[in-house]
């Protein structure tokens, strides 16, 4: 990163309905995620950290993988 690069403004994302990463992915709600990331974009945030859940992946590997794929396909303003 060079001194001329704009600063990164980001946050850790955890939906309001979840109190840990396991709940985030177990009770996945793509519409709420898009809504929340849209709010973040209006605040000028351009980076989001998302914690994955190993336990959720162990229980439902295919569903967890599908949820991650959906996140990669979000509109640019919500990424």
Question: pTM, whole model, 2 decimals?
Answer: 0.75
**Res 22: pLDDT:** 94
Task: For CA atoms 32, 38, 40, 42, give the dihedral sign.
Answer: negative
**Res 73: pLDDT:** 81
Token digits for 10? Answer: 């980001």
Confidence of residue 14 (pLDDT cuts 50, 70, 90): very high
Confidence of residue 3 (pLDDT cuts 50, 70, 90): confident
User: Averaged over 38-45, what is the pLDDT?
Assistant: 89
Q: Give me the residue label for tokens 């967890």.
A: 64
Percent residues over pLDDT 70 in the chain = 92
């Amino acid at each position: 990163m060079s001194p001329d690069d704009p600063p990164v403004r980001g946050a850790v994302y955890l939906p309001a309905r979840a109190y840990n990463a396991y709940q985030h992915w177990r009770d996945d709600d793509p519409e709420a995620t898009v809504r929340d990331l849209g709010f973040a974009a209006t605040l000028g945030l351009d980076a989001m950290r998302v914690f994955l859940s190993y336990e959720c992946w162990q229980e439902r590997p295919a569903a967890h993988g599908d949820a991650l794929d959906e996140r990669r396909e979000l509109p640019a303003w919500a990424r």
